[in-house]
Structure 1
Amino acid sequence: MPEPVIEVEDLHVEYRLRGRSSAKQVICGVDLVINEGETLSLVGESGSGKSTIGRALLGLAPVSRGTVRFDGVDVTRMTRRQRRPHTAGLQAIFQDPYSSLNPAMTVESILSEPLLARGVKDARRQVQQLLDSVQLPADAGRRLASEFSGGQRQRIAIARALALSPRLIVCDEPTSALDVSTQARILALLRELQERTDVAYLFISHDLGVVRHISDRIAVLRHGEIVETGSTVKVTSSPTHPYTRELLLATPVTDPAEQERRRRARLELRAQGGQQHHHAA
């Protein structure tokens, strides 16, 4: 039976707005469990709070209520210094491979930095192993990050996340800045690495069409609340919430006629939602 890597209970995140006495609630009562070797995808449109949840797990966003347990340890209100010994196995891959890597550093420097910080003595050998694991040539370590394409930079970012043998990687829209063919190759690489290492992923995306290729389970987030969760097959083939159906209809297709049909169906769903809200009021 797989062990839970991270357990999130009743998570609330709010931000104080400058010049206002009240706080804006961004995340409201979210519960999540991600097991060893599992991919849970968190899906919702822009502004739904997906990245905020990822940041809260990483200790980069304030938790106003609830708990985050990583490998059984409650890290919710620890300072960064207190969290460090407990959460080295919690890493991240961010959306933009151009801004997440220092373009002035060599790839070897980027990858060896976390290893040296942990006192690893054979960092250079491990860097070569990391490059091999993400299918980059051995001489890539001597080059600057700025010399690589977007897809190659994202492979470097994946290698950096793998450096400390993580238990969980928060993948925050890691393919959205890439073209479709490069997206597919990065997703295939992430699956392969998971099979080899049993790492767990929280995969954050706005696109149900992308996450269906990598997820074991999907949680759908709307306005900071989870409205539906279930297996990938269940959520993508027989969704129960209108918002999930709307997200599925927003998935791009190549057939213009089908794309138009989906657009009309999506507008109809939104209209029905508006009418239900009006009657409830």
Structure 2
Amino acid sequence: MAEPVLKVDNLAVRYGGRRGTGSTVIDDVSFELNTGETLSLVGESGSGKTTIGRAILGLAPVTAGSVCFRGEVISNIPRARRRKVARDIQVVFQDPYSSLNPSMAVEDILVEPLLATGSGDGRTRVRELLDAVGLPADSRGRYPREFSGGQRQRIAIARALALDPTVIICDEPTSALDVTTQARVLTLLKDIQRETGVAYLFISHDLGVVNEISDRIAVLDQGRIVEIGKAHDIATNPEHPYTRKLQMAAPVADPKKQRLRRAKRLNLMAEEPSSTKSTT
């Protein structure tokens, strides 16, 4: 079997205190991501999903454990080495408007990562990137404020694709979008993956979204993975009580089914002690 492109092993992230004391945000998290795969990290707000992504990107300190890219440890590495890793691991943030410089035209936004990594000015690549995310060529001279939320997220995805990365961390990339636009962005991400073989680490609180895009799902609760498995298995037959609660909290179109889910979720909350946790 091929070596995973990204491997997180016994990862821990703590803030504050000395000698590893303080607030533990992530504790003993392990998973692997393979080429061309989508692994989703799902959990409630505060479960540690985004912190894991930040630790992989070098934006949060790794207190214990390691992050490896193609067999090489990349956690807590010097800035010069991190810049090289950035060519292979890119990110799409939740809010496309705040992640795009409002004073820069789209062309400059897309060229910036190429200049930052010494890949040349790359202006001939802008049209390719715009075409890849379904935006017209005349978008290059316009500014982020001139686009809708979904179009801005397409620009953010194009920027992430500029360096032909191996892994893209998608941090709640659809949560700020309406349902129709969400579906279009998810379809775009899947199309890009089929064409390029890029691997996604998809971070979301919405099981309905991750069920749609994932090959595998890891469920986080209070900084620990409580269940990980194939997306179909997690969606249809979750084993951990916390995962079942998340599934039943996901909205459905039928009001009767929604009321039934809510009642079952309340029963689970009454029957299962909140302190019962296990790591798979």
Structures share a fold, TM > 0.5? yes
User: How far apart in 1 are the matches of 2:167 and 2:55?
Assistant: 14
Q: After superposition, give the CA deviation of every residue in 1:53-84 in whole Å (9 maximum; x if it has no partner).
A: 00000000011000100121101121222322
Percent of residue pairs bearing the same amino acid type: 59
Q: Which runs of 5+ in 2 are unaligned?
A: none
Residue 105 (structure 1) aligned with residue 104 (structure 2): yes
> What is the match of residue 4 of structure 1?
4
Q: Which runs of 5+ in 1 are unaligned?
A: none
> What is the match of residue 226 of structure 2?
227
Report the CA distance shift for 1:87/1:73 in structure 2 as closer, same or farther (over 3 A): farther
Q: For 1:82, what is the secondary structure of its paired residue?
A: helix
Report deviation, 1:153.
0.2
> What is the match of residue 127 of structure 2?
128
Report the CA distance shift for 1:2/1:135 in structure 2 as closer, same or farther (over 3 A): farther
Q: After superposition, give the CA deviation of every residue in 1:19-53 in whole Å (9 maximum; x if it has no partner).
A: xx940001000001000000000000000000000
Q: Where do residues 221-260 of structure 1 align in structure 2 (5 Å cutoff)? A: 221-260=220-259
User: How far apart in 1 are the matches of 2:65 and 2:98?
Assistant: 32
User: How far apart in 1 are the matches of 2:21 and 2:117?
Assistant: 42
User: How far apart in 2 are the matches of 1:99 and 1:158?
Assistant: 14
> What is the match of residue 150 of structure 1?
149
User: How far apart in 1 are the matches of 2:62 and 2:242?
Assistant: 26
Q: Where do residues 156-195 of structure 1 align in structure 2 (5 Å cutoff)? A: 156-195=155-194
Report deviation, 1:86.
3.1
Report the CA distance shift for 1:17/1:105 in structure 2 as closer, same or farther (over 3 A): farther
Report deviation, 1:177.
0.4
> What is the match of residue 13 of structure 2?
13
Runs of 4+ in 1 over 6 A off after TM superposition: none
User: How far apart in 1 are the matches of 2:236 and 2:258?
Assistant: 18
Report the CA distance shift for 1:38/1:83 in structure 2 as closer, same or farther (over 3 A): same
User: How far apart in 2 are the matches of 1:213 and 1:265?
Assistant: 23
Report the CA distance shift for 1:276/1:89 in structure 2 as closer, same or farther (over 3 A): closer
Root mean square deviation, CA, Å: 1.6
Report the CA distance shift for 1:276/1:135 in structure 2 as closer, same or farther (over 3 A): closer
The size of the alignment, in residue pairs, is 275
Report the CA distance shift for 1:127/1:261 in structure 2 as closer, same or farther (over 3 A): same
Report deviation, 1:260.
1.2
User: How far apart in 2 are the matches of 1:201 and 1:276?
Assistant: 31
Name whichever of 78-87 and 231-240 sits farther off.
Answer: 78-87
User: How far apart in 2 are the matches of 1:106 and 1:128?
Assistant: 14
User: How far apart in 2 are the matches of 1:46 and 1:259?
Assistant: 21
**TM-score normalized by the length of structure 2:** 0.94
> What is the match of residue 71 of structure 1?
70
Report the CA distance shift for 1:126/1:31 in structure 2 as closer, same or farther (over 3 A): same
> Is the contact made by 1:70 and 1:87 (CA closer than 8 Å) also made in structure 2?
no
**TM-score normalized by the length of structure 1:** 0.94
Q: For 1:136, what is the secondary structure of its paired residue?
A: coil
> Is the contact made by 1:68 and 1:74 (CA closer than 8 Å) also made in structure 2?
yes
Report the CA distance shift for 1:267/1:86 in structure 2 as closer, same or farther (over 3 A): same
Q: For 1:274, what is the secondary structure of its paired residue?
A: coil
User: How far apart in 1 are the matches of 2:119 and 2:78?
Assistant: 25
Report the CA distance shift for 1:230/1:122 in structure 2 as closer, same or farther (over 3 A): same
Residue 91 (structure 1) aligned with residue 94 (structure 2): no
> Is the contact made by 1:246 and 1:266 (CA closer than 8 Å) also made in structure 2?
yes
User: How far apart in 2 are the matches of 1:120 and 1:74?
Assistant: 24
Q: After superposition, give the CA deviation of every residue in 1:125-179 in whole Å (9 maximum; x if it has no partner).
A: 1011000000000000000111100000000000000000000000000000000
User: How far apart in 2 are the matches of 1:11 and 1:86?
Assistant: 19
Amino acid at match of 2:14: E
> Is the contact made by 1:249 and 1:262 (CA closer than 8 Å) also made in structure 2?
yes
Amino acid at match of 1:258: K
> Is the contact made by 1:73 and 1:86 (CA closer than 8 Å) also made in structure 2?
no
Report the CA distance shift for 1:275/1:164 in structure 2 as closer, same or farther (over 3 A): closer
